[in-house]
Amino acid sequence: MKRWFALLQGALIGLSLIQPLPSAKAAYDKLPAFPGAEGFGYAATGGRGGEVYHVTSYELTGPGTFYDALMTAGTTPRTIVFDISGEITIPQIIVRNKSNLTIAGQTAPGDGVTIRGNNIRFIECSDIVIRYMRFRLGVQIFQDDSMYFEDSQNVIVDHSSFSWGTDEVLSIKSKDYDHPKSKNITVQWSIISEGLLTHSMGGLVEMNTITMHHNLYAHNNDRNPKTKGVMDFVNNVVYNWGQFPYVAGGESGTKGYGNVVGNYFIAGINSENPEYAVVRGNENYHLFLDDNRIDSNKNGKLDGKDSGSGMMEAERPSALVPERFEYPPVHTEEPETAYEHVLGYAGDSLVRDAVDKRVTDGVRSQTGAIIGDEDDVGGFPALKREAAAADTDRDGMPDVWELAQGLDPNDPEDRNGDRNRDGYTNLEDYLNELAAPGYPDGYPLTPPDWSGTPFEPPVVSVPEPETEPVPPMNGETVRSAVVHDDSANGAVNAAAWSVQENLEPGDFVAGDRMTGNKTYKFASVPDEVQGAEWIRTAVGSRSAASEDLLSFYLAADADVYVAHDSRIATKPQWLASAYEDTGLAVADDQPVQYELYKKHYPAGSRVVMGPNGGTSQMNYFVVVKPTAADTPAPASSPSELAGTLSDGPSISLQWSPVDDAAAYLIYRSSTLDPNDKVVGSSTTATYADTAVEMGAVYRYKVSAASAGGESSLSDSIEVPAYDPSLPAPSAPSDLTVAAARSLSVDLAWTPEDDAVGYGIYRSSEPEGSFERIGYARTASYTDKTVNPSTTYFYRVTATADGGESEPSAIVTATTKQPVVLPQAPEGLSAASATASAFELKWRESDGAESYNLYRKGNEEDGYTLIANTAETGYTDDSVSAGQTGYAYRVAAVNEKGESEPSDDLFVAMPLPEKPDRLIAGLTGETFVGLIWTSHGGVTQYNIYRSTPGKPAELAGTAKVDTFYDRSAEPGTHYLYYVKAQNASGESIKSNDVSVWTTGGE
């Protein structure tokens, strides 16, 4: 209970910090899409004022097909009307970047239309109106949604029926949750039912501004719906969810702002936790929960209660808020009224097909179950086909209606007139008249008045992360290798690259695949490159598209080999056009052959390599082999280095030439990057550095390179990039000693506005001469050049375009006594171990500041550092169900370094926890649907079946927590149980479930 109040308080405090946006007054005065349109998507314009497309064909594609109607839509708004009725089978339809479309299912004759057989996606579309349609995907060999919207705006879906998705039934979302583009959407008076097992998902409705009202969710195991972002969920009915009803965000912590108001949640046979309507919340999901009903008792009668926040999952609550989020309002009814209205009018209800009849009747009688195949509940129902009324001028309005309205049945242009001046075109008047019986008597068909300020989620500005300068990757011949991986995980990928010496079989192939079950090693290496320096890359970088994914300089003449995955047939242009195929290959133990491509470069060259050219295979790696090893490097280093700042800004460098030099390498460090890196090369004794930022101080050294190698470095020079005509910055204030250890001193001060960097000065006497010991980019610095038991005096300056400030006040730091390496930790043991987490502990070591914990899986080679912690314990929750156990060792760490490791501890992987709450879903003559609850740490589930008196036999296996047994006999009594399996074996069994199949004698 306490945790609950803390969360609530946290939410309220959090909200009070949200500043209302300045006068973002609602523009809620547009013409609704149609009478009865409400909520965020109320003003979608659809095909208003545009052309008319008649669907006349049942073919998959071609003229007159539904596919053609959507795919040929151009810039003119389009209304799609139906001259045919019944089932229309479609190929996949991806509607991308189209706008102003109305799909007017109410125009279909007979029993209306049902779209089946594939999926429709709307991506980056706007002003879409869909009414009185049915979208029923049905069993497929692929998993997909019946309908999917992404990054679309101004959409209203009304009186439509969605079912039998093999992935989700209806999903609506933004692609990038950090910058959501999906806005102003309404789904109303619709049915989202019978997502097919094994997935059985209502849908992801995430990161939109969306209203969902007067909809029915029925018989979806999960996601009824799963929500994030702005959601107005009002007057819906949710029936017979399996594991999860309304999901408030889930575990990811993405923010949510939901109204859940006036809904009726009714548990059914499959509902696992019948008392919870809103589950899987988190502290970032702000929820206004009011006047809902939940009927948990499964007694076949509608007798729900308003259990208030009690209908929210206690273990994973959302952050309740006291006020309803102000969104474009909908007419909010009492849940009992909404229940009647939804069951009476939701879906394609001008003519309810047998599916919607069965589902809505099942809600009333509280029967029905989650299914895995539409044929188990009667399949696609027969739909009456009729001919459409004559429409001579093809303007979407039948002759008879036009004549009655005084329009011209031979003039197609009158469709876009407005004879009654109500704002809707004549064609829209016709469509709206057809649609009108879909609303309950007395339900208001104009949106509620509203002139409020809509709630908008606070925009949390995330500052660009300061990327710390990384030390250069150097080898014998490779200088300052730079990785520029622009893929999603680029920084992590880049950190996995390294320069290695002595290429040989047994080496790990990829820096990001050195542990786990995809660890690859070299199996054979041709003599030509055996023992050479090489650049180990990352498999993850195969997704990078950077033209300069890798660049480096050469300190000697060298052959550069690119080892490229032979499975990638098309070699990237940068490789194919300049490198020679050697016919040689390195092989790894997958096995994969890496074909070796070669190019010769002289010393001083900058080598640049682009992307891999194949996002699903291995990334290339690089071998560098010097070609003039017998040639001596230049004996002397460049001298008389000098530099001057000029406009641009740029810094011109010159030095005395060196005999035998073929090229010079220019090394630089600066206020902005303390690492010496090669920034350029030159074949003459001059260089112009144009990558200069005013206010920084640059420090240069130069080397001479010949075919055989590189000289030592020249003396360094400093060139400040200051403009003396500008004022110098103020001196930094509040300099403090943040920590003084034996071998390091931490300094911190208040950042100066406009400072580009800071100079750090130190003296051993208070009045002595201060020497600059380094530069800092930010307002802190760690001096790692101190001795133990010594007193130091520090002051700092700021540098900016105008130069260097006066020094700050002086601070004093006295370092501690000398440290020694800490003792190796003792007493490493496992406090507990489950199939998904091991809790480890050890005793404190003398002199330890922190501990490094290393781990090795039984199926892995070598230990990997998995944690550094100041605690004397750690819970490893990243154990894999594919490992039979792990060995651990821990070492103590202080300033001096790392202790010897502790004794090894071996922890065997326990058997997984047994699956719980096994229940039968839909049962037919020849099938039984099963659903259970899992507890993680599982590689697969084994499903066992028996008939009474007989031993149980394996009926199948599953990777997810549902299974459909299709080998059952009619009229038979079966007992089922499930066991979870991991690398160590099988769990004990779940509860038994007893099932009679239907039929038989």
Non-local (6+) Cβ contacts of 457 within 8 A are 229, 230, 255, 257
For Ca ion, give the closer residue by CB, 418 or 581. 418
Min dist. Cβ of residue 408 to Ca ion (A): 5
- Verify binding: residue 356, Ca ion, rule CB under 5 A: no
Task: Tell me the per-residue interface mask from 254 to 293 with Ca ion, x by CB under 5 A, - otherwise.
Answer: ----------------------------------------
The stretch among 243-251, 421-429, 872-880, 916-924 that binds Ca ion (CB under 5 A) is 421-429
30 vs 175 by CB, closer to Ca ion: 30
The residue (of 430 and 594) whose beta carbon lies closer to Ca ion is 430
Question: Smaller CB distance to Ca ion: residue 420 or 812?
Answer: 420
Q: 543 in helix, strand or coil?
A: helix
Active site residue 121: no
Gyration radius (Cα) of the chain, Å: 35
* Minimum distance from residue 389 beta carbon to Ca ion (Å): 9
**Residue of 784, 892, 887 whose CA lies nearest to 838:** 887
Query: Which residue blocks in 218-319 are alpha helix, DSSP H?
Result: none
Whole-angstrom Cα distance, residue 585 to residue 645? 49
Nearest to 359 by CA among 517, 195, 519: 195
Number of residues assigned to the chain? 1001
Give the Cα-Cα-Cα angle 341, 343, 348 (nearest 5 degrees).
100
Smallest separation, CB 136 to Ca ion (Å): 29
CA dist 844 and 838 (Å) reads 19
Give the other-Cβ count within 10 Å of 855's Cβ: 25
Q: Is 433 in the site for Ca ion (CB under 5 A)?
A: no
Q: Residue 243 Cβ, how far from Ca ion at the closest point, in Å? A: 20
The residue from 420, 517, 656, 994 that contacts Ca ion (CB under 5 A) is 420
Which residue, 411 or 861, is less far from Ca ion as judged by CB?
411
Interface residue with Ca ion among 29, 306, 361, 422 (CB under 5 A) is 422
CB nearer to Ca ion: pick between 420 and 878 = 420
Beta pairing, strands 264-266 & 293-295 = parallel
Token pair 């208003």: residue: 48
Query: Given the complex with Ca ion, which of 411 and 871 has the nearer CB atom?
Result: 411
Cβ 102 to Ca ion, closest distance in Å?
15
Number of H helices, E strands in the chain: 8, 68
Among 122, 135, 285, 424, binds Ca ion (CB under 5 A): 424
Give dist(CA 968, CA 922) in Å, integer. 13
Using the minimum distance from each CB to Ca ion, give the nearer residue, 15 or 31: 31
Q: Min. distance of Cβ 64 from Ca ion in angstroms?
A: 17
Q: Which of residues 292 and 681 has its CB atom nearest to Ca ion in the complex?
A: 292
The minimum distance between CB 287 and Ca ion, in angstroms, equals: 24
Determine which residue in the list 429, 559, 595, 752 makes contact with Ca ion, applying CB under 5 A. 429
| Residues 114, 66: Cα–Cα separation, whole Å | 11
Between residues 303 and 375, which has the closer beta carbon with respect to Ca ion?
Answer: 303
Q: Which of 359, 347, 115 is nearest to 219 (CA)?
A: 359
Find tokens 């006594």 and name the residue: 817
- Beta pairing, strands 522-524 & 580-588: antiparallel
Question: What amino acid is encoded at 693 in this protein?
Answer: E
User: Is residue 871 involved in binding Ca ion (CB under 5 A)?
Assistant: no
Least distance to Ca ion, CB of residue 341, Å? 19
Task: Tell me phi and psi for residue 403, to 5 degrees.
Answer: -60, -40
Does the footprint of Ca ion cover residue 998 (CB under 5 A)?
no
Of the pair 301, 843, the CB lying nearest Ca ion is at: 301
Q: How many residues bind Ca ion (CB under 5 A)?
A: 18
How far apart, in whole angstroms, are the C-alpha atoms of residue 328 and residue 306? 25
Tell whether residue 51 is a contact of Ca ion (CB under 5 A).
no
Nearest approach in angstroms of CB 300 to Ca ion is 7
Binding mask 294-313 for Ca ion (x = CB under 5 A): -x-x-x-x-x----------
Q: Is residue 29 a contact point for Ca ion (CB under 5 A)?
A: no
Write down the least CB distance from residue 89 to Ca ion, Å. Answer: 28
| CA-closest candidate to residue 4, choices 212, 308, 232, 219 | 308
* Rounded least distance, CB 242 to Ca ion, Å: 18
Residue 60 burial class via C-beta count within 10 angstroms: exposed 0-12, middle 13-18, buried 19 and up = middle
Among candidate residues 116, 93, 58, the one with its CA nearest the CA of residue 374: 116
x-marked contacts with Ca ion along 380-419 as a string, rule CB under 5 A:
-----------x-x-x-x----x-----x--x--x---x-
Residue with tokens 């009747």, as numbered in its chain: 361
- Shortest CB 52 distance to Ca ion, Å: 9
Tokens of 619: 């990334």
Report which residue type is found at 474. N
Encoded tokens for 998: 């239907």
The answer to whether the CB of 208 falls within 8 A of the CB of 181 is no
If the CB atoms of residues 418 and 900 are measured against Ca ion, the closer one turns out to be 418
The answer to whether residue 145 forms part of the interface with Ca ion (CB under 5 A) is no
3-state DSSP helix/strand/coil % of the chain, to nearest 5: 10, 35, 55
H/E stretch holding 66: helix 66-71
Report CA dihedral (223, 225, 228, 232) to the nearest 10 degrees. Answer: -160
Longest CA–CA span in the chain (Å) reads 107
Task: Spell out the residues 6+ positions from residue 268 whose beta carbon is closer than 8 angstroms to its own.
Answer: 219, 239, 240, 241, 298, 366, 367, 368, 369
Catalytic one of 48, 121, 136, 223: 223
Nearer CB in complex with Ca ion: 49/440: 49
Q: Could you write out the three-class secondary structure of 630-691?
A: CCCCCCCCCEEEEEEEECCCEEEEEEECCCCCCEEEEEEEECCEEEEEEEEEECCCEEEECC
Residue 254 DSSP code? -
Closest distance to Ca ion from the beta carbon of 401 (Å): 8
Residues in contact with 518: Cβ distance below 8 Å, sequence separation at least 6, in sequence order: none
**In this structure, are residues 447 and 329 in contact, taking their beta carbons and an 8 Å threshold?**
yes
**Residues found near Ca ion in the complex (CB under 5 A):** 295, 297, 299, 301, 303, 391, 393, 395, 397, 402, 408, 411, 414, 418, 420, 422, 424, 429
- Residue positions annotated with a catalytic role: 223
